[in-house]
Structure 1
Amino acid sequence: MVVDVPLDSSGAGRGEERAPAALRRAGLLQSLAADDGGQVDEARLRDATRDPVSGVIDAAGLCRAGAAVTARIVEVIAGGSRPLVLGGDCAILPGICRALPPVTELWFVDAHPDFLDGTTSPTGEAADMDLSVVTGHGPAAATGLDGPLLDPDRVHLLGHRPSSDDSGRVEVARIDPTIRQLPAAELLRQGAGAVGASLAAGEDGPAWLHLDLDAVDPRDLPAVTYPEPDGLRWPDLVALVTPLARADRLLGMSVTDLNADEDPDGRYARRVVEVLAEVLGRPGPAARPG
């Protein structure tokens, strides 16, 4: 079941906000034979002001959006469906994780670790700090809750290649050491398909797959807000994600960071739809929490 969460955590209404609509125009529902779970209307920020206490842009609006996302994901999973959540940017992740059992394993595929906080983030966007928030290292103002939403030891950070500037070095130093990291270069050395298959078969219990499309090399997908070089090419991404997306224990998947403003003719949205149709294949039964 496809659920739209058009959240752009800059509060400026950038192209990520229009990504769910762009993917639908590109034929996503038809390609996946998916049910339509509608849109989380509360998931829009319109205040670009950075909260002086937490350092997060529109912290109050972000909490409201997150609570609405949580309620929708709980409803979808309880109804026996497997949600495919279309962002928006990675700030949708805390709201999703609040809906999941704390023992959920998170497969986090992203060009960036997203491990800054309200002080170290140069932007104040919650998408800079979503993984730190869900593992208990980010500002509580982003969710309105204290403490981790998921166990860091059950998080796999995959395909990242953080920048070498001061912000990137600070971010890498903040990453919880219990998080299992496989940067893009090492992932490719081991073989993307082998990594995906090993993770899919590796542990018991429920799992969630989060895919930030900037994990793809900008030579293949330039229509993202914060592109990083030396990423996964499309065949690598497909090889990595296919076994994860088809795992029986998968509760659902989120896809973020297509910037529709950088894709005026829709060619990249169509390519993303083709890839999602390939990796998801025929829809299977929803995994059950627990």
Structure 2
Amino acid sequence: MSMKHWVFPPRGIVSFAGAPLVTPGASVDADVIVIGVPWDGGTGLRGGARHGPRAIREASQRFPLWQDRQPTGYWDVTTGQQRLAGITVVDGGDVPIVRASQDHTAAAITATVRAARRSAGLLLLLGGDHSLTFPAVQAFDDCGTLGIIQLDAHLDFTDAIDGVRFNSSTALRRVSELPFVGAMAAIGLRGLRTARAAYAAAEARGNLLVTRDALRCLGPDVVLERLPPMQQAYLTIDLDVLDPTLAPAVSAPELDGLGYDELRRLVSGIARRSRIVALDIVELSPPHDPAGLTALAAAQLAVELLAVVCENNDYR
């Protein structure tokens, strides 16, 4: 008699949503590959994001996407659909971080992303601080014109911090300088720490900048209509875009953030408009997350993101 195999945390080896583990660099055939980036050497406020990938994986055990070695997905009570059924999500482990060197770590991120792209159609990166986005995007230089959509409380468009040009506050500025990067948009901006020069530089480049107040007044649907056309897009989500009541454990929390429903509507609309080639979720700092709420938000967002992106794009 066969018996259905149920997975209850903390049973088993921790991988993203119970996905099969694959050897880093190995040749696999998957729809989605998940890569952890345990790095927080680029943050300037609260550290701890190097523990983010492990915390997200642990929280994701609540949402197993595989049962009995089959990619069964999950039942969505809201839509009445089985989502991610048949979509092969695998966990490719972590980037081999070199703790004492930003340069070596950045090179390792780019190399790991390049290798992962040969194994799957969609890449999900679990951070780690926001500085990982720049070397990750560098691995997509064969995409022609690549759009960048950033959901974030902060612009991260400063040119340098104390002479350092590669950190979490400069990541999107460095991305904007890549010759293959086209239109860029940042949504959810707020707080009292925005550098005027950085904001002016982003405007001068032609980036779409949407503040938290503008999003509240216009609504997600109107904001989505204003997004510039992007055939292919990289989506980067800093968890501080959420309100700190939902995501308190981020490197730089800001009051009056988005609700989870607003964020879900935004990413659903983005996935319908553009082919998402990769996405990252960054800035979770587990030492500041005693109740695990931020890790839970990140894990659920990751699973729902994969569902909506895979439903709107064919990665096979």
Structure-2 residue corresponding to 1:163: 192
**TM-aligned CA distance change 1:194 to 1:81, over 3 Å:** same
Q: State whether residues 242 and 280 of structure 1, in contact with CA within 8 Å, keep that contact through their aligned partners in structure 2.
A: no
Q: State whether residues 102 and 149 of structure 1, in contact with CA within 8 Å, keep that contact through their aligned partners in structure 2.
A: no
Aligned length: 256
Residue of 167, 184, 209 corresponding to 2:235: 209
**TM-aligned CA distance change 1:11 to 1:273, over 3 Å:** closer
Residue of 203, 208, 218 corresponding to 1:180: 208
1:190 matched to 2:218? The reply is yes
Q: State whether residues 122 and 278 of structure 2, in contact with CA within 8 Å, keep that contact through their aligned partners in structure 1.
A: yes
Give deviations 1:152-206, integer Å, cap 9, x for gaps: x511111111425xx633432343521111112112222124434664xx62521
- Residue 108 of structure 2 aligns with an amino acid whose one-letter code is A
Alignment of 1:110-189 (within 5 A): 110-119=152-161, 126-136=167-177, 148-151=178-181, 153-164=182-193, 168-177=195-204, 178-189=206-217
Provide the C-alpha distance between the structure 1 equivalents of 2:43 and 2:151, rounded to a whole number of angstroms: 24
TM-superposed deviation, 1:209 = 0.5
**TM-aligned CA distance change 1:197 to 1:269, over 3 Å:** farther
Structure (1/2) with the larger helix percentage: 1
1:109 matched to 2:151? The reply is yes
Which residues of structure 2 form unaligned runs of 5+? 1-32, 66-72, 74-87
Structure-2 residue corresponding to 1:143: none
TM-superposed deviation, 1:30 = 2.7
**TM-aligned CA distance change 1:179 to 1:3, over 3 Å:** same
1:228 matched to 2:254? The reply is yes
**TM-aligned CA distance change 1:11 to 1:259, over 3 Å:** closer
- Residue 130 of structure 1 aligns with an amino acid whose one-letter code is A
1:36 matched to 2:76? The reply is no
Give deviations 1:224-263, integer Å, cap 9, x for gaps: 1111122211111111112324666110100001110111
Provide the C-alpha distance between the structure 2 equivalents of 1:71 and 1:86, rounded to a whole number of angstroms: 16
The structure whose Rg is larger is 2
Provide the C-alpha distance between the structure 2 equivalents of 1:132 and 1:120, rounded to a whole number of angstroms: 15
**TM-aligned CA distance change 1:179 to 1:278, over 3 Å:** same
- Residue 186 of structure 1 aligns with an amino acid whose one-letter code is A
Give deviations 1:247-284, integer Å, cap 9, x for gaps: 66110100001110111232321232223323332645
Provide the C-alpha distance between the structure 2 equivalents of 1:265 and 1:219, rounded to a whole number of angstroms: 12
Provide the C-alpha distance between the structure 1 equivalents of 2:43 and 2:254, rounded to a whole number of angstroms: 22
TM-superposed deviation, 1:149 = 4.8
1:95 matched to 2:135? The reply is yes
- Residue 284 of structure 2 aligns with an amino acid whose one-letter code is L
- Residue 99 of structure 2 aligns with an amino acid whose one-letter code is L
Provide the C-alpha distance between the structure 1 equivalents of 2:136 and 2:186, rounded to a whole number of angstroms: 17
Which residues of structure 1 form unaligned runs of 5+? 47-60, 137-147
Q: State whether residues 185 and 208 of structure 2, in contact with CA within 8 Å, keep that contact through their aligned partners in structure 1.
A: yes
Q: CA RMSD in A?
A: 2.8
Structure (1/2) with the larger strand percentage: 2
Structure-1 residue corresponding to 2:24: none
**TM-aligned CA distance change 1:213 to 1:82, over 3 Å:** same
Q: State whether residues 60 and 300 of structure 2, in contact with CA within 8 Å, keep that contact through their aligned partners in structure 1.
A: no
TM-superposed deviation, 1:79 = 2.4
Q: State whether residues 159 and 232 of structure 1, in contact with CA within 8 Å, keep that contact through their aligned partners in structure 2.
A: yes
Provide the C-alpha distance between the structure 2 equivalents of 1:270 and 1:73, rounded to a whole number of angstroms: 25
Residue of 28, 45, 50 corresponding to 2:99: 45
Structure-2 residue corresponding to 1:16: 49
**TM-aligned CA distance change 1:71 to 1:6, over 3 Å:** same
**TM-aligned CA distance change 1:246 to 1:281, over 3 Å:** farther
1:2 matched to 2:2? The reply is no
